[in-house]
Structure 1
Amino acid sequence: MTSPVALLSFLLLSLPLLYSAAPLTAYEALEQYDFPAGLLPLGVTGYTLNEDTGEFEAYLSETCSYSVEGYDLKYKSTISGKISKDKITDLKGISVKVVFFWVNIVEVTRDGDELSLSVGILSASFDISGFIESPQCGCGFDCNDIRIDEITEENKMDMVSVLSF
């Protein structure tokens, strides 16, 4: 028979193991529903998720925009919707520029290796491989691609003054 002191000691020693699992990040939560992490840009500061209803909110420190493969995207600081396996509905907070107008992306569905992004009656499908990595606000996937011919005359003067000292 186990003594109460031994049982209490065991329970106290096991508590850190029970609570040591870190909560999922927003990116990991997306993956739990079969979506790639790259649906969200880098820099999500937190999220809430009601696992019973699928209602969620994801938070960025500020609005975020970038261009990727000819598409201009804009994320508000709060993105919300309802998520279930392979489907996000009632999406709010993400828009894409179509010609001259910004339209809201209202639904995302996954069918095999394709993601369909819907702006209402129109949708476009993309290969999931384009969403594996998360883009960075401001520059998308081209953040380290600074070309020498993009340096302006003002920047040249600043560099010359720094280098002369």
Structure 2
Amino acid sequence: MRSVRSISFITAVAVFVLTVGSSTVTEDNALSAYDVLKQYNFPVGILPKGVIGYEINRNSGKFKVYLKETCSFSIEGYDLKYKSTITGTIIQGRIYDLKGISVNVVIFWWNIQEVRRDGDKLQLSVGIASASFSVDEFNESPQCGCGFDCLNGGERKKTTAKKLNRLISLFLD
């Protein structure tokens, strides 16, 4: 009789440890990665369409987001690249230790390391420099391969001198 109680107790403890230790809480399984972004006060457009899964530890904020494959596109002169796995830490209004997203500025690829929300602005940091954008610019998720220009075959539009100057000044000021 004693061994049955011990086994039941051990089983109960194991189930408890697995439930509490699991980072992907049952409620999260019903939410998309985009829904989780909204919970932390971020717009869905910081992730492209096509997220196939994610993991998040609600205690530490550490997360992993999975795309089917590496994803690249251009938006208004910015070339962006998302690896198939994106990692970082998320708290209200801040994503940091970000890995897996890079932006091409002039001729160099820079890793976006942090995203901060400050009111109606998002600040994206590549470590030594940062740029601010309106949150409204991220209300819609771009599509891999074509960004927001999917109806025109995803061909990149030529960057105007004005856009290039804006980009350079944003990251170098």
TM-score (norm 2): 0.72
**Alignment partners' CA distance in 1, 2:67 and 2:151:** 22
The code of the aligned residue for 1:40 comes to L
* Higher helix fraction (1 or 2): 2
| Greater radius of gyration (CA) | 1
The code of the aligned residue for 2:81 comes to K
Aligned residue among 103, 126, 138 for 2:145? 138
The code of the aligned residue for 1:30 comes to L
Task: Give the structure 2 partner of residue 91 of structure 1.
Answer: 98
Aligned residue among 53, 59, 74 for 1:67? 74
The code of the aligned residue for 1:116 comes to Q
- Greater than 2 Å deviation, 4+ residue runs: 19-22
**Alignment partners' CA distance in 2, 1:71 and 1:58:** 22
State whether structure 2 residue 40 is matched by structure 1 residue 41: no
Task: Give the structure 1 partner of residue 158 of structure 2.
Answer: none
Aligned residue among 105, 108, 111 for 2:112? 105
Q: How large is the Cα RMSD of the aligned pairs?
A: 1.8
Query: Cα distance, 1:69 vs. partner?
Result: 1.2
Task: Give the structure 1 partner of residue 121 of structure 2.
Answer: 114
Query: Cα distance, 1:35 vs. partner?
Result: 0.1
Distance 1:121 1:85, change over 3 A: same
Distance 1:98 1:69, change over 3 A: same
**Alignment partners' CA distance in 2, 1:146 and 1:132:** 22
**Alignment partners' CA distance in 2, 1:63 and 1:104:** 15
**Alignment partners' CA distance in 2, 1:20 and 1:85:** 18
**Alignment partners' CA distance in 2, 1:131 and 1:138:** 17
**Alignment partners' CA distance in 2, 1:29 and 1:21:** 8
The code of the aligned residue for 1:50 comes to N
1:74-97 deviation per Cα after TM superposition (whole angstroms, max 9, x unaligned): 000000000000000000000000
1:102-123 deviation per Cα after TM superposition (whole angstroms, max 9, x unaligned): 1100000000000000000200
5+ residue gaps, structure 2, are 1-25, 155-173
Aligned partners of 2:146 and 2:153 also within 8 Å: no
1:44-88 deviation per Cα after TM superposition (whole angstroms, max 9, x unaligned): 000000000000000001000000011000000000000000000
Identity between Structure 1 and Structure 2 (%): 62
**Alignment partners' CA distance in 1, 2:56 and 2:118:** 23
